[in-house]
Amino acid sequence: MSTASELIRKDILAGLESAFEKGTLPEIQVDDAAIERPQNPEHGNFACSLPLKLAKPFKMNPLAIAKALTENLPTNGVIGNASVVAPGFINITLDRRWVLDQVHWIRDNPETFSDISIGKGKSVQVEYVSANPTGRLHIAHARGAVIGSTLSELLRTAGYIVQEEYYLNDAGNQIDNFDISLLTRYRQLCGECVELPEDAYPGEDIIDVARKILDRDGHRYLKMPEEEARSAIGIAGTPLILEGISQDISSLRIQFDNWFSEKSLFKAGQFQKCIKILNDKGFVEKKDGATWLISSELGEEKDNVLIRRTGAPTYFATDIAYHFNKFHERRFDRVIDIWGADHQGQVSRLKSALAALGTNPDNLDMVLVQMVRFKKGKTAEKLSKRSGNVIPLLELVNEVGADACRFMFLSRSHDSQLEFDLDLAKENSSENPVYYVQYAHARICSILRLATSKGISFDEGEPNRLGEPSELNLINKMLELPDVVETSVRNLEPHHLPHYALELATCFHLFYQNCRVISSHASDIPLTKSRLMLVDAARIVLKKSLDLMKMTAPEKM
């Protein structure tokens, strides 16, 4: 089965081919049917602007092209009517019977009706959140988390094999800092009078971890030499931190398929191997006691340090090795990283390094998620981990709810900054658009419940009895979901999904307003059954939209 837009596209190209054969249009290769869904309903379900685009290469008047094309369009498929309109559009109305038949199609394929095949079974890894394991997650992590997980769902429904991964930065500076912070907190709990160093993490979640360690292991770390104590308590603390992160993330209904340890890159020799390859290719040099990647020879603005004078690798170096692992060891066809926009400077040089390692950088996409400002009262404040004025992710989810949280973070384009009004989300939640969508689903379920209680079955309903504008409008909107999936996946932009869900809900509410579903008149039974069928199909599509966003679809509100 194909989607409406696929069929229309096919028909237009077929019409073109047929006009070529008849010689009414000059035979020039055309790949794109240039169709869209017009905003003005008077322009039909689809509009084709191909004649306008072909005017120049064909050296013909667009209206003449439109006429020739329209005359050759197949007439017994999806296209019900095609009309030529100045300055050269073809407005296409879907065949009514075909549209109504889709109600059956959706009900017969509730899980797969919106699946598309652009992924072609390729493997793709989506890596997101990947916050340093130095504490609990806070609200700044939420946006990337929601975007990453929804994108993963979308990629699956688009035919990709998806792995969701959390990259665990369990090596490096931040971790040293964490060890020091944890040890300090631990000592404080043991009654020692020690100050938290300036660079340390002030967060209270580290105190919680220190307390757990104290309860479990007693005072053993006090007796160790400084270095040993740091490392030992760090090793003891990491699993506890991970437990917390895992709990935080699951509050947003996220579960990773894999947690990848940075340390493992060194243990497995991956890091060393990677540097060696770069070295063998002549892109590595020693300067000022450090080891550099000569990225300037790879088209970058400047060279970058791989291994510091101290012998410690930079984040950049391990990131190269990590991505080398993704492509060369684990052989993903595609990799998508969801990053905060503050990592934007890393994109180009990482891609260059990968290219030097023989990976096509086009197989790597970074989705840069812009910063979120959280508005409390009238002031929008920037929250930072260092200043300690962070709001834990769990607190946000508990107060706002996972559904509202996901919807809010999803509904903005990732490359726009987002202002999250905490007060509005908390106090005014009933005015939140998320409820509008969920309410439509609850309404649907309510109708279906009534039908059940009245003993009305509707499997034998006949969609071709339908035909009210708001009915057709609703079905047409339902048929758009596969296109929304395609657009979202193609552009890695999950924000189209909540907007679609809103539109679909609007179409349903409108239908509900205009069409009485369960009639009390016996003579209306066939229509009632047909409408129940439509309502059930609408339920399936709405549910699917919510599922893709990992939101709940309440049956009662």
Q: Which is nearer to RNA, 217 or 301 (CB)?
A: 301
Q: Which is nearer to RNA, 212 or 376 (CB)?
A: 376
DSSP state of 197: P
Distance (Å) of CA 449 to CA 242, 354, 443, 532: 44, 57, 10, 11
Nearest CA-CA partner of 47 in 23, 81, 20:
81
Given 344, 360, 398, 457, the residue binding RNA (CB under 7 A): 344
- In angstroms, give the least distance from the CB of 454 to RNA: 10
CA distance 211 to 145: 28
Q: Which tokens hold the place of 261?
A: 């340890």
Using CB under 7 A as the binding rule, the residues of this chain from 158 to 187 that contact RNA are: 169, 172-174
Binding characters for RNA, 443-482, by CB under 7 A (x = yes):
x-xxx-xx-----------------------------x--
Given 220, 273, 308, 465, the residue binding RNA (CB under 7 A): 308
Q: Which is nearer to RNA, 98 or 315 (CB)?
A: 315
Nearest CA-CA partner of 554 in 438, 449, 432, 443:
438
Stretch that binds RNA, among 94-102, 181-189, 320-328, 549-557 (CB under 7 A): 549-557
- In angstroms, give the least distance from the CB of 158 to RNA: 13
Reported residue count of the chain is 557
Nearest CA-CA partner of 544 in 491, 504, 493, 495:
504
Using CB under 7 A as the binding rule, the residues of this chain from 355 to 394 that contact RNA are: 368, 370-371, 382
Element (H, E) at 363: none
Q: Which is nearer to RNA, 13 or 418 (CB)?
A: 418
Nearest CA-CA partner of 1 in 550, 482, 519, 496:
482
Q: Which tokens hold the place of 540?
A: 């399936």
Using CB under 7 A as the binding rule, the residues of this chain from 105 to 134 that contact RNA are: 132
Write down the residue that tokens 């992160």 correspond to. Answer: 245
- In angstroms, give the least distance from the CB of 111 to RNA: 21
Using CB under 7 A as the binding rule, the residues of this chain from 91 to 110 that contact RNA are: 91
Using CB under 7 A as the binding rule, the residues of this chain from 44 to 73 that contact RNA are: 44, 47, 49, 52-53, 55-56
Looking from the CA of 263 toward its CB, the CA atoms found within 13 Å total 9
Is there binding between residue 309 and RNA (CB under 7 A)?
yes
Using CB under 7 A as the binding rule, the residues of this chain from 409 to 428 that contact RNA are: 411-413, 415-419, 421
Stretch that binds RNA, among 73-81, 119-127, 231-239, 311-319 (CB under 7 A): 311-319
Given 85, 161, 232, 422, the residue binding RNA (CB under 7 A): 85
CA distance 57 to 468: 42
Q: Which is nearer to RNA, 272 or 416 (CB)?
A: 416
- In angstroms, give the least distance from the CB of 349 to RNA: 9
DSSP state of 429: G
Stretch that binds RNA, among 16-24, 224-232, 264-272, 310-318 (CB under 7 A): 310-318
Number of DSSP helices (H) and strands (E) in the chain, helices first? 20, 15
What single-letter amino acid sits at 22?
K
Where are any strands of DSSP class E within 460-506?
A: none
- In angstroms, give the least distance from the CB of 9 to RNA: 11
Helices 204-217, 226-250: axis angle to 10 degrees equals 120
Using CB under 7 A as the binding rule, the residues of this chain from 209 to 248 that contact RNA are: none
Stretch that binds RNA, among 8-16, 40-48, 276-284, 457-465 (CB under 7 A): 40-48
Q: Which is nearer to RNA, 91 or 152 (CB)?
A: 91
Given 36, 101, 285, 297, the residue binding RNA (CB under 7 A): 36
Strand partners, 125: 163, 335
Q: Which is nearer to RNA, 97 or 287 (CB)?
A: 287
The answer to whether 496 touches 556, Cβ cutoff 8 Å, is no
Using CB under 7 A as the binding rule, the residues of this chain from 251 to 270 that contact RNA are: none
Q: Which is nearer to RNA, 333 or 421 (CB)?
A: 421
Is there binding between residue 295 and RNA (CB under 7 A)?
no
Given 243, 257, 342, 468, the residue binding RNA (CB under 7 A): 342
Q: Which is nearer to RNA, 187 or 443 (CB)?
A: 443
- In angstroms, give the least distance from the CB of 376 to RNA: 13
Q: Which is nearer to RNA, 108 or 301 (CB)?
A: 301
Count of residues engaged in binding RNA, rule: CB under 7 A: 95
Nearest CA-CA partner of 166 in 147, 145, 135:
145
Given 430, 455, 460, 522, the residue binding RNA (CB under 7 A): 430
- In angstroms, give the least distance from the CB of 85 to RNA: 4
- In angstroms, give the least distance from the CB of 110 to RNA: 20
The answer to whether 339 touches 370, Cβ cutoff 8 Å, is no
Is there binding between residue 343 and RNA (CB under 7 A)?
yes
The answer to whether 180 touches 230, Cβ cutoff 8 Å, is yes
Classify 493 as helix, strand or coil.
coil
CA distance 327 to 540: 37
Looking from the CA of 349 toward its CB, the CA atoms found within 13 Å total 23
Checking DSSP bridges between strand 304-307 and strand 418-421, what pairing results, if any? unpaired
Binding characters for RNA, 507-526, by CB under 7 A (x = yes):
--xx-xx-xxxx--------
The sign of the dihedral angle between the CA atoms of 74, 77, 79, 80 is: positive
Q: What are phi and psi of 419, to 5 degrees?
A: -110, 120
Given 64, 207, 305, 525, the residue binding RNA (CB under 7 A): 305
160-184 as b/e, with b when 16 or more CB fall inside 10 Å?
A: bebbbbbbbbbbbebbebbbbbbbb
